[in-house]
Amino acid sequence: MKKRVIVDRGVGRKLATLFGITPEMVSKSLNYKKDSHLARRVRYMAIKDFGGIPVGDKLDPQK
């Protein structure tokens, strides 16, 4: 499974509004297709403030 952050429906649009970015950039950030400073901030806020759950290969200690 690819590394990504799972959030509830509508959170991406809220993050886009908060950061003043497009929903596409939020999607790329949450799916680890971007690794810029902004993308890291988006992932951090998704996990910390919106209850996002990080999943994927590199996060699973058994693999």
- Cα(28)–Cα(41) distance, integer angstroms: 13
> What CATH number matches the domain at 4-59, 1.20.120, 3.30.420, 1.10.260, 1.20.950?
1.10.260
Q: Is the four-CA dihedral 40, 1, 6, 48 of positive or negative sign?
A: negative
> pLDDT 10s digit of each residue in the chain, 63 long?
789 999 999 999 999 999 999 999 999 999 999 999 999 999 999 999 999 999 988 655 554
Total-model pTM: 0.85
pLDDT confidence of residue 58: 67
Helix H or strand E segment including 19: helix 11-19
pLDDT confidence of residue 63: 45
What is the residue extent of each domain of the chain? Answer: 4-59
